Amino acid sequence: MRSEPDLSTIAALIGDPTRAIMLSALLGGQSLPASELAYRSHITAQTASSHLSKLVEGGLLTMQRTGRHHYYQLKNAEVAHLLEALAVVAPPPRVKTQEQSNELSALQLARTCYDHLAGKLGVAVTQSLIEQQLITLDETDYQVTAAGSKWLSAWEIDESQLHKGRRKFACTCLDWSERRYHVAGAFGASVTTKFFEKGWIARMNGTRAIGITDSGHKGLKEQFGIETREWV
């Protein structure tokens, strides 16, 4: 009888190359149809269905039916955190084409890690929040200061709501491309949502990379002191 969690089951699910591609495609927090996941994995719809069923049964994905289509997404933030942590120790991607090189550069610049900012932008925003003394780092978690609470209120983010539920309020997430921490948890997700609502960032089709808009370049410079135009 085992007294430890069965890591081999999860490792086997993630270890299959096709399923790893599917999980990575969903790491941006979006729900994608089975047909899209099959296309990205270069497999047939029937084969994709088999892989997706195993990921749902294994507790890594959830599935929702919308009409005739099945949409899949990561089960929760914990699964995303696991995948991002594995990416830190995984071998670097093998770039063979200019298109792949461009996509990798976009991912390294700015992307979503489930529902919070990652990449160079995510790390820079986190560092700015610390330098402005809006948050402080306490071992593996971030704490919001009194000034930070006022900042959240000014941004119309209900701090009390962020503390509700089982999810961590504000925790560290090691960025696989920057090798530094960015802020995750309910706090990180709410800030990212505001960035989208303000029109500062926008999703890029076919990838979890996100683009910074003109208003985003301006807002990030004015409110966070980040010169993002120098990155492109």
Q: What is the DSSP string of the chain?
A: ---S--HHHHHHHHHSHHHHHHHHHTTTS--EEHHHHHHHHT--HHHHHHHHHHHHHTTSEEEEEETTEEEEEES-HHHHHHHHHHHHHSPPP---SHHHHHHHHHHHHSEEETTEEEHHHHHHHHHHHHHTTSEEEETTEEEE-HHHHHHHHHTT--HHHHTSSSS-SSBEEE-TTTSSEEE-HHHHHHHHHHHHHTTSEEE-TTSSBEEEPHHHHHHHHHHH---GGGG-
Question: Is position 85 within any domain?
Answer: no
pLDDT of residue 67: 83
Residues 121 and 200 in one domain: yes
Residues 186 and 113 in one domain: yes
Which tens digits make up the pLDDT trace of 156-196? 999 999 998 788 999 999 999 999 999 999 999 999 999 99
Question: Is position 195 within any domain?
Answer: yes
Residues 67 and 162 in one domain: no
User: What is the number of domains present in the chain?
Assistant: 2
Residues 226 and 140 in one domain: yes
Residues 145 and 215 in one domain: yes
Residues 207 and 119 in one domain: yes
pLDDT of residue 153: 97
Residues 25 and 121 in one domain: no
| pTM, to two decimals | 0.86
Domain limits for position 14: 7-75
Question: Is position 82 within any domain?
Answer: no
What CATH number is given to the structural domain containing 37? 1.10.10.10
Residues 71 and 129 in one domain: no
Question: Is position 49 within any domain?
Answer: yes
pLDDT of residue 218: 97
What string of pLDDT tens digits covers the 232 residues of the chain? 567 788 889 999 999 999 999 999 999 888 999 999 999 999 999 999 999 999 999 999 999 998 888 999 999 988 988 998 898 888 888 888 988 898 889 999 999 999 999 999 999 999 999 999 999 998 889 999 999 999 999 999 999 999 987 889 999 999 999 999 999 999 999 999 999 999 999 998 878 899 999 999 999 999 999 999 988 7
pLDDT of residue 2: 63
pLDDT of residue 4: 77
Question: Is position 80 within any domain?
Answer: no
Residues 43 and 139 in one domain: no
